[in-house]
Amino acid sequence: MGVTMKDIKELRSRTGAGVLDCKKALNAVDGDVEAAVEHLREKGISDAAKKAGRIAAEGLVSLNISDDRKKGILVEVNSETDFVAKNDKFQNLVADITEHVMQSDADNTDQIAEEKWYKNSDKTVNDIIKEAIASIGENINLRRFVSYESDGFIYGYIHLGGKIGVLVDFEDEFSAEKEAVAKDIAMHIAAINPDFLDRDSVSENYIEKEKKIYKEQMINEGKPEHIIDQIVEGKLNKYYTQVCLLEQPFVRDDEKTVADILEENDLTVKRFTRFEIGEGIEKKEDDFVAEVKAATKNQ
């Protein structure tokens, strides 16, 4: 009896391994799913290098904030599929990586990868990730992280079960009242995705680029030359309300700006970071049937 798609799907569900690995394992043990589970476990780290080149655009965003709220980190760890992102093994790995980064003074992911694992000094972070790749069956990548140390307090927010994460540095002393407003601000950032804190944060090159685009639009629309600069300035002001956090209409009360909310509650945002899982990575869209066909085409 040949290997069926149902068998492959069951094995993938139980192990998190890739489709082709599941098919090969089932073929190796005459279609016995239980034996195939053991077969995949026995394969070890030897397959990790093959998987390391595959696109990893799913995964989780995770955060960690110290008890005194003076330090906070935001981490993105990618997997190839959302399916694996929901796997307990992957989620535990992300939690451990986040804890490691919290304890690290590294400036970038390359440095993190070469550090001794915080739980085991005999292995590096890279070793741990490679072991997870072999065990889970998909490429896994520590893509990025940001670390804040604050003179005020840090607030963090995770949205959609790890699809979006926000870290905000406030210049103020922490209190329960301020925490409630900080949560609202973090949720606003998660929902509206501002690019900048305020208009002073926007580079001159960026502004000149926008002005050029607006001016070309006005010329193409046949606007009189003597009013083009005025129109462009109006468009630029509107642009600031779209991309600058402090000038955006507040998501819970669009009669006020975020700056209004902060002023009313005696709060000041120093900086923020928003990670959305896989943003900027070209994702491959395949349903399960198509994935099976693609993986087994020439087998």
- Each residue of 19-46: pLDDT tens digit? 777 888 888 888 888 888 777 766 543 3
Every domain of the chain with CATH number 3.30.479.20 lies at 58-192+269-276
pLDDT at residue 11, as a whole number: 77
Task: Establish how many alpha carbons lie within 13 A of residue 11's alpha carbon, considering only the half-sphere containing its beta carbon.
Answer: 31
Amino acid letter for position 39 = H
Amino acid letter for position 113 = A
**Tell me: domain 199-263, CATH 3.40.50.300, correct?**
no
Decide if pLDDT at 221 tops 50.
Answer: yes
- In angstroms, the Cα distances linking 107 to 33, 94, 132, 176 are 44, 19, 24, 32
Q: Which two tokens stand for residue 285?
A: 């869209």
Cβ(100)–Cβ(117) below 8 Å: yes
294 pLDDT band, cuts 50/70/90, is low
What class is the 5-52+284-296 domain? mainly alpha
Furthest-apart CA pair in the chain: how many Å? 80
Every domain of the chain with CATH number 1.10.8.10 lies at 5-52+284-296
- 114's CB contacts (< 8 A; 6+ apart) are 124, 125, 126
- 102's CB contacts (< 8 A; 6+ apart) are 64, 66, 71, 73
Give strand pairing partners of 71: 149
Q: Percentage of the chain surpassing pLDDT 90? A: 58
- In angstroms, the Cα distances linking 162 to 58, 120, 157, 198 are 10, 26, 9, 27
DSSP state at residue 69: S
DSSP state at residue 4: P
Residue 298: count of CB within 10 angstroms of its CB: 4
Summarised one tens digit per residue, pLDDT across range 76-123 is: 999 998 898 899 999 999 999 999 999 999 999 999 999 999 998 899
Residue 250 to residue 45: CA distance in whole angstroms: 49
**Tell me: domain 58-192+269-276, CATH 3.65.10.10, correct?**
no
Every domain of the chain with CATH number 1.10.286.20 lies at 199-263
Cβ(293)–Cβ(183) below 8 Å: no
**Would you state the torsion angle of the CA atoms of residues 5, 7, 11, 14, taken in this order, to the nearest 10 degrees?**
110
Q: Write down the pTM of the prediction.
A: 0.75
Q: Which two tokens stand for residue 111?
A: 């440095």
pLDDT at residue 45, as a whole number: 30
- 188-207 as b/e: b if 16+ CB within 10 A: bbbebebebbebeebeeeee
